[in-house]
Each structure stands twice: as C-alpha cells, then as structure tokens.
Amino acid sequence: MTRWFRQPPPRGVLLTLLAAGLAACFVIEQFGLVDDYVRFVLITLGINIILCVSLNLVNGWMGEFSVGHAGFMALGAYLSACVSVKWLAWGDPLWMFPLAVIGGGLMAGAVGFLLGLLSFKTRGDYLAIITLAFLMIVKSGLENIPYVGGARGFLGIGNHTTLLWTAIWTALTLWAIRNLVYSRFGRGIVAVREDEIAANAMGVDTRKAKLAAFVVSSFFGGVAGALFAHQLQFINPGVFDIVKSTEILVMVYLGGVGSLAGSILGATVFTFLSQVLQPLGTWRMVILPLILVLLMLFRPRGIMGMREFPWFVPRREFPAKEDKK
Amino acid sequence: MNPLLEVRGVTMRFGGLVAVSDLSFEVTPGHAHGIIGPNGAGKTTAFNIITGLYTPTAGDVLFRGESIAGQRPSNIARRGIARTFQNIRLFRDLTVLDNVRVAHDAHARYSWPGAMVQLPSARRAEKETIAICLDMLEKFGLGDVAYERAGDLPYGSQRRLEIARAMALQPQLLLLDEPAAGMNSAETLKLVEFLGWLRDHFSVTMLLIEHHMQLVMTFCDRITVLDFGKTIAEGTAAEVRSNPKVIEAYLGPEDGHE
C-alpha cells in the first residue's frame, strides 16, 4: 500500500496524543464541559469510526461487498442489552458494562464466523445478497422474540456509553485492526483481493484469511452496536435495517477503502454532515447519496483509498534510516 | 535417487476437450527439467495440475513420494512447490517488499489473535520476515526498489520480482512458466546466467516451460516434449534434438514441406 511520506512519526507522539485525548474525555465528562448535544455527537462519531473501520476490513482490504454490518450491530446491541438489563443488572457498570460490550462483540463475532464460512463459496454480488438476507433474518428474528421486546423494542437500557468508554473502544478497535492489517493475515487478504490465483500459489490460505477478517469485522460491529444501545437507551429491530448498513457503506467509500485514516475521515465527515444537514429533513438522504455518486465518479476508492497516514503505520514498515538513497 | 516430482498417467478433460492425456514424467532432484512443445500442447495445463489449480480427471501427481493431486493450491505451495506465471501475476498495488513478504508469510507461525494484540512472538516474526525479505530482494537486485509499488516496475524487474517472490516461499521445486517470454536474445542469454545462479545459490530443482529453444537446450538437464497433451519424447538436449518425432511436431511431416 502506498503511503504519504517515507518518514515514520517521532517516537511516542501517538501515545501522548492518545493519553491526552482520553484524559480530555474524562475531564469533559467529569466536569460537564460540553452540553448534551455535543456529547451525543462525539459519542456517535466514535461509534461511527468503529463501524466504518470494521466494515472496511471486509469491504476495503478484502474487497468483498457486505451489506450486513447493521445486522452485527443489532446482535451486539441486543446481547449487551440483555447482559446489562436482564442478566447482570445487579452489577456495577464499571465492570458490568465492558463485559456487556465484549459479550455483544463475541455474539456478533460468532455469527460472523458462520457468514465467513459462506463467503468461501460465494463472493461479489452473491455474497452481497447473502449478507442482505442475513440482515433481514436478524431484523425479523428479533421482531419475533418477545424476550427482547419484539417489534416494540428493548426499553430501559442504562445510559452507560460515556465519552471515555467510547474513546477507549474506538482506540482499541483502530489499534487491533491496524495490527491485523499489518500482519501476514492483512497482507493475505489484500493479496487475495489483488490476485487470488497468485495468492494461493504463494501459500496464502484464502479460507483462514477470510474467516479472520469476517470474525474481527463482525466482532467490532457488535461492539459498536453495544455502545449504540447504551447511548440511545432504547433499541428496536427497525433501527438496524438496510438504511443503517448503507450509512456505514457511505462512510467507508467516502473516506477510502483499505485505509485507517480514510475510515476516520469518512466517519467524521459523515457524522458532521448528517448533523449539519439535519434541518433539511429527509432531503438529507438525497444529498448524502449524491455525494457518494460524485465520489464514485471522480474518486472510486474514496478520499484516502488504499493510502495511509504514516502515523497509523507500524514503525517496522518504514525503510531503515541507514538505507542507501 | 528418488524423483522429487512424479506425474503419473495424468489426464485432464475440459468437457469434450482433452488438454492433457496420459501424461507421465519424473523430475530428478537438482535437475533443471524443461517442458517444450508447440502451442496448445498442454504445458501450462500440466503446470496448473501440479500446482493444484486443476484436479486431474485421471492419474496422480506425487511430490516427495506423497500424492498432491487435487489438493488446495495453498497447501501444495506450502509443501514446497512455487511457481511463476506466463503472464506476470504480481500483487501490483502492493510494494515490492510486501509481494515477497506474502510468500514468506506462508511459513510464519503466529496466530491472528496473536497478531491483533501484538504478542512479542508476532512482532518478532514480523521483524524477521522484513529482514529476510529485504535480504532476498538485495540478492535479486531489487533492494533499491523495495518500497516501490510493484506495478510501477519495468517489465524485466517484474519478471525478476516474480521469481524472487516464488523463492521467498523457500520451495524445493520451482516451476517457471515461460521465463523468457517477451525477451530478446541478449536478454535471454542474461536470463540463462541468472537461472544458473538461482539453481546454484538456492539449490532448487526447476521445472520450466519455454519456447526459446536455445535456452532450453543449453540450460536443461532433461527435456520432456509434449504434443497434443501427450509425451512424444524425453531425454537430454542432444537426444531430444535428434528425435524424429520432435522434428515432426515442430516442423510438420517431411512431405508436407517439400
């Protein structure tokens, strides 16, 4: 993958920024420095970044086309809500909430494993149709389970998604996916996308690489869903429909396929645009897709497509200093 | 010596078309073995069967005495058979280094959860891989372009990179599909030199398809000649050259010319 610069960032900058960011989140929250609306938008931004970068793993780096990401979100949202409202309601949110989020992620990851198995035989348009079917099954399934409120929805979820938790999970997601992408598995899925025959001839196990990508992608989709549920405090199956999936797709293809920086950029632009365009009402959903159409015409891989901001690239990936010119 | 690769009575049918019929030959360890034959003789099909892209309709392929026919290509690759392609198939959008790394990764042991949380073992393996692959590129004269996009390299370098990538798999058998394609005779002469270096330096057994007669005759220890999916001759360069069947396959029957 091509990068902007040849130079790695100065040592420790990213860690310092991260620590400062987390501290800022904590302080803002503790002393109520921002109003509820700004806080809500910032949390939405974090959740959107998680959604965007995790879908990017499958749709960008791997080059498949999944439209089922909202389904994984739903699984994570509902399972975490069950944990925090029904199963471990007595627990202190300090340890109970992370457990609920991880539980939601694991649930989504397990189902993602099954969907990954299907991806061996089907790909391209066919995989898109299968993920669409998966999305409909999840939504209809949840509507028919009275235990989680059926079509009326799941009420009374605690407001546990703080700014700090969102920031922690966002950083964790970016870190984990970066590590995966710059490992043999990440190179494997990119190689499969570039030329599957050559990749196989070089010993890349397509199945293993695809399974890993699907499981990780859906796990973090579930994590985002869990955070989402505890932000809104009320979820119903109708929220996790094809429109939600489409929103995530817009973020991915806006920011850029196969790029961490692109995922952050896409999620940020999308989050703020949808807030700014709020007064336009339903016209919002005309303008956002229109932007996508223009983007596909002039920049089909997104703003940062296949390029990376050097700060997100592990240090070992850069040429050594003493390299001859 | 036991053969490294044995192709035993392999037949490949595509619908009504018989691409390869009852093909048998053996590759001795350490040899450079050439496969020649007119266009459409089934040479590339034979390669695709050996590397697992096709499952033969009949017959078997043995590598180091074990049957590999019909196994997944990635498995066969990791067992020690690497290949290049007739029309270069690099990962064009990846860097030169990453192209080689993908192949070397086949032998890395760390798991994906381990990679995700950056276990020390995974980090160490990554650093080792980079060092080994940079070294490999240096040997192939591609050290200076390690961080360039593979698709941006000139044609000759792309051919070399494809061989470097195959060698990063640490194979015992290297399959080269027309390595001299698109080269003039001066470049071909250089290629012969390069292939000799490759064989001596990595002590790898080679099986190569080539149209360039001069290359095959000077470089290969043993030659199998195919026509219409069948073996029509096998032997050393001198033996094959004087075989009337070979002359006929290449030049047509004698009376057809006069």
Q: Please determine, for residue B33, whether its predicted confidence score (pLDDT) is greater than 60.
A: yes
Interaxial angle between packed helices A36-56 and A163-181, expressed in degrees from 0 to 180 and rounded to the nearest 10: 20
Say whether both B146 and B73 belong to one domain. no
Per the domain annotation, does B87 fall within a domain? no
DSSP codes of every residue in A250-307: HHHHHH-TT-HHHHHHHHHHHHHHHHHTGGGGGGHHHHHHHHHHHHHHH-TT-TTTTE
Residue type, A170: T
Which residue shows structure tokens 């990679």?
B115
Contact A197 B73 (CB under 8 A): yes
What is the CATH classification number for the domain harbouring B250?
A: 3.40.50.300
B148–chain A Cβ distance below 8 A for any pair:
no
Per the domain annotation, does B86 fall within a domain? no
Say whether both B30 and B13 belong to one domain. yes
Q: Could you say which of B168, B187, B218 is where a domain stops?
A: B168
Instruction: Determine phi and psi for A189, rounding to 5 degrees.
Output: -70, -35
Say whether both B152 and B129 belong to one domain. yes
Q: Please determine, for residue B61, whether its predicted confidence score (pLDDT) is greater than 60.
A: yes
Closest Cα in chain A, distance from residue B215 (Å): 25
Contact A190 B103 (CB under 8 A): no
Residue B58: per-residue pLDDT: 93
pTM of the predicted protein model: 0.91
Burial class from Cβ neighbours inside 10 Å (0-12, 13-18, 19+) for residue A320 reads exposed
Mean pLDDT of chain B: 91
Tokens of A114: 């099954």
Mean pLDDT of chain A: 90
- Closest residue in A to B148 (Cα–Cα): A2
Tokens of A76: 């994570």
Per the domain annotation, does B224 fall within a domain? yes
Contact A201 B90 (CB under 8 A): no
Per the domain annotation, does B206 fall within a domain? yes
Mean pLDDT for back-to-back runs of 10 residues, chain A (325 residues): 61 88 91 90 97 96 93 97 93 92 97 89 83 95 93 92 95 96 94 93 91 95 97 94 92 93 95 89 81 85 84 86 50
Q: Could you say which of B168, B197, B224 is where a domain stops?
A: B168
Give the span between the Cα atoms of B166 and A103, in whole angstroms. Answer: 43
- Closest residue in A to B163 (Cα–Cα): A202
Per the domain annotation, does B228 fall within a domain? yes
Closest Cα in chain A, distance from residue B174 (Å): 11
Closest Cα in chain B, distance from residue A97 (Å): 21
Residue A285: per-residue pLDDT: 77
Contact A204 B130 (CB under 8 A): no
Task: Report how far apart, in Å, the C-alpha atoms of A238 and of each of A67, A82, A139 are.
Answer: 16, 18, 7
Instruction: State how many domains chain B has.
Output: 2
Tokens of A284: 């919002």
A106–chain B Cβ distance below 8 A for any pair:
no
The edge-to-edge listing of strands for the beta sheet with B32-36 is B81-83, B173-177, B205-209, B32-36, B222-227, B230-235
Instruction: Provide the ipTM.
Output: 0.91
Give the span between the Cα atoms of B229 and B18, in whole angstroms. Answer: 7
Give the span between the Cα atoms of A148 and A155, in whole angstroms. Answer: 9
Residue B243: per-residue pLDDT: 87
Per the domain annotation, does B55 fall within a domain? yes
Per the domain annotation, does B247 fall within a domain? yes
Residue A71: per-residue pLDDT: 97
Residue A321: per-residue pLDDT: 63
Say whether both B30 and B130 belong to one domain. no
Say whether both B239 and B112 belong to one domain. no
Give the span between the Cα atoms of A74 and A145, in whole angstroms. Answer: 13
pLDDT tens by residue, A196-234: 999 999 999 988 888 999 999 999 999 999 999 999 999
Rg over alpha carbons for chain B, rounded to the nearest Å, is: 20
Q: Structural domain of residue B163, as residue ranges?
A: 92-168
Per the domain annotation, does B85 fall within a domain? no
Q: Could you say which of B141, B168, B195 is where a domain stops?
A: B168
Task: Report how far apart, in Å, the C-alpha atoms of A15 and of each of A22, A171, A264 are.
Answer: 11, 11, 17
Residue A322: per-residue pLDDT: 53
Give the span between the Cα atoms of B60 and B68, in whole angstroms. Answer: 8
Say whether both B150 and B177 belong to one domain. no
Say whether both B109 and B123 belong to one domain. yes
Say whether both B159 and B100 belong to one domain. yes
Residue A22: per-residue pLDDT: 93
Which residue shows structure tokens 């950056």?
B118
Residue type, B19: A
DSSP A8: P
Residues B9, B12, B17, B20, Cα dihedral to 10°: -50
Say whether both B155 and B197 belong to one domain. no
Closest Cα in chain A, distance from residue B154 (Å): 18
Rg over alpha carbons for chain A, rounded to the nearest Å, is: 20
Say whether both B143 and B180 belong to one domain. no
Say whether both B35 and B100 belong to one domain. no
Strand partners, B222: B33
- Give the list of residues 6+ apart from residue A11 with CB closer than 8 angstroms, or none: none
CB within 8 Å of chain A, chain B residues 24-63: 51-53
Task: Give yes or no for a contact between B194 and B142, defined as CB atoms under 8 angstroms apart.
Answer: no
Say whether both B124 and B44 belong to one domain. no
User: Within 10 Å of residue B251's Cβ, how many Cβ atoms?
Assistant: 10
Contact B147 A6 (CB under 8 A): yes
